[in-house]
């Protein structure tokens, strides 16, 4: 597997995922601050929008951290990062996998940019509903699916931590405790070291 990555970006999520997965991979540095980044034709094939992270695995090419999470968790089931297709937890898993790109990030962007919320018509509700739902999802813990850590925790845990780092996280003991559990995972710690080394 080849991970198209740039330090201190959302590609940290993919690094964390691949470290949880335990399957060998190669990192390909894509400098997103360099306008010539799409010169790499392999990267362009995997990421039509020129965004990191992106992945190449055999003939498979894809971008977006949630899509990458869904793919690797199913493709490499030995890591047990996703409930099997016939497991009733699969519904909650898929819902939480989409929560980051579909709800957390748009709600954060809305708030950050000062766009007027519209809970009824915006697909992500609004920032307050997003936080309330997240808090309810993590309060029983330890993970979104109870005892089972999954790729959804990588997506949601990293997003919650981004919110905290950007100073956007309202006071919430359950979310803070969840973030602490996430960032104490050895795979997350390894990913941070790799990301920092460049």
Of the two residues 28 and 177, which places its CB atom closer to ligand GSH in the complex?
28
- For ligand GSH, which is the closer residue by CB, 122 or 177? 122
CA distances from 170 to 10, 31, 135, 144 (A): 21, 32, 11, 19
Residues that bind ligand GSH (CB under 6 A): 9-10, 32, 50-53, 64-65, 101
Helix runs in 89-185, H state only:
90-99, 105-112, 127-138, 151-165, 173-183
Least distance in angstroms from the C-beta of 86 to ligand GSH: 28
Side-chain-side CA neighbours of 26 within 13 Å: the count stands at 6
Nearest distance from residue 153's CB to ligand GSH, in Å? 15
**Cα-flanking dihedrals φ and ψ of residue 28, to 5°?**
-115, 115
Residue 163 Cβ vs ligand GSH, minimum distance, rounded to whole Å: 14
Nearer residue to ligand GSH within complex by CB, 112 or 136: 112
Taking CA atoms, 42 is separated from 3, 12, 48, 104, in Å, by 11, 20, 10, 29
Compute the least distance from the CB of residue 10 to ligand GSH, in Å.
4
Q: Which is nearer to ligand GSH, 164 or 177 (CB)?
A: 164
Task: Estimate to the nearest angstrom the gap between the alpha carbon of 174 and the chain centroid.
Answer: 19
């Amino acid at each position: 597997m080849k991970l198209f990555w740039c330090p201190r970006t959302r590609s940290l999520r993919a690094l964390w995922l691949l470290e949880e997965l335990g399957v060998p991979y190669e990192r390909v540095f894509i400098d997103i601050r360099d306008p010539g980044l799409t010169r790499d034709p392999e990267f362009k094939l995997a990421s039509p929008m020129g965004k990191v992270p992106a992945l190449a695995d055999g003939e498979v090419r894809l971008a977006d951290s949630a899509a990458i999470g869904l793919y690797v968790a199913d493709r490499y089931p030995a890591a047990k990062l996703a409930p099997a297709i016939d497991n009733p937890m699969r519904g909650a898993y898929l819902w939480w996998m989409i929560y980051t790109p579909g709800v957390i990030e748009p709600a954060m962007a809305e708030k950050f940019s000062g766009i007027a919320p519209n809970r009824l018509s915006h697909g992500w509700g609004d920032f307050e509903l997003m936080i309330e739902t997240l808090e309810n999802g993590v309060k029983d813990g330890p993970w979104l699916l109870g005892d089972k850590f999954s790729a959804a925790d990588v997506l949601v845990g990293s997003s919650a931590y981004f919110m905290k780092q950007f100073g956007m996280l309202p006071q919430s003991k359950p979310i803070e405790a969840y973030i602490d559990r996430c960032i104490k995972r050895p795979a997350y710690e390894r990913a941070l070291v790799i990301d920092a080394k460049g």
